[in-house]
Amino acid sequence: MVKGKDLLSISDLTVEEVYRIFEVAKDLKAKQKRGEQHHLLRGKTLGMIFQKASTRTRVSFEVGMWQLGGQGLFLGASDLQIGRGEPVKDTARVLSRYLDGIMIRTFSHAEVEELARYADIPVINGLTDLLHPCQALTDLFTASEYKGELKGRKLAYIGDGNNMVNALLQVCAKVGMDIAVATPQGYEPDGAILAEARAVAAKSGSNITVSKHVSAAVAEADVVYTDVWASMGQESEQVVRMRDFDGFQVNRGVMKLAKPDAIVMHCLPAHRGEEITDEVIEGPQSVVFDEAENRLHVQKAILALVMGGA
Catalytic residues: 105, 132, 135, 227, 267, 295
d(CA 270, CA 101) in angstroms, rounded, equals 30
Binding test (CB under 6 A) with ligand NVA, winner from 15, 59, 73, 232: 232
Beta strand 154-158 pairing with 71-76: unpaired
How near is the Cβ of 173 to ligand CP at its closest, in Å? 21
227 binds, among ligand CP, ligand NVA, none (CB under 5 to 8 A by kind): ligand NVA
Question: Hey, is 276 helix, strand or coil?
Answer: strand
Residue 104 C-beta: closest distance to ligand NVA, Å: 14
Taking residues 54 to 73 in sequence order and writing x for each that binds ligand CP by CB under 6 A, - otherwise, the string is xxxx----------------
Interaction between residue 227 and ligand NVA (CB under 6 A): yes
**Cα–Cα distance measured from residue 102 to residue 245, given in angstroms and rounded to the nearest whole number:** 36
**Chain position whose Cβ is nearest to ligand CP:** 57
94 is a site residue for ligand NVA (CB under 6 A): no
Which residues, 246 to 285, sit near ligand CP by CB under 6 A?
Answer: 267-268
95-99: long-range pairs with CB below 8 Å, 24+: 95/47, 95/119, 95/121, 96/120, 96/121, 98/45, 98/47, 99/45, 99/46, 99/47, 99/73
**Which of 245, 223, 7, 44 has its CA nearest to residue 127?**
7
Q: Kindly tell me which residue out of 45, 60, 162, 226 binds ligand NVA, with binding defined by CB under 6 A.
A: 162
**Helix or strand run (H / E) with residue 156:** strand 154-158
Residues engaged in binding ligand CP (CB under 6 A): 54-57, 127, 135, 267-268
Residues engaged in binding ligand NVA (CB under 6 A): 127, 162-164, 227-228, 231-232, 267
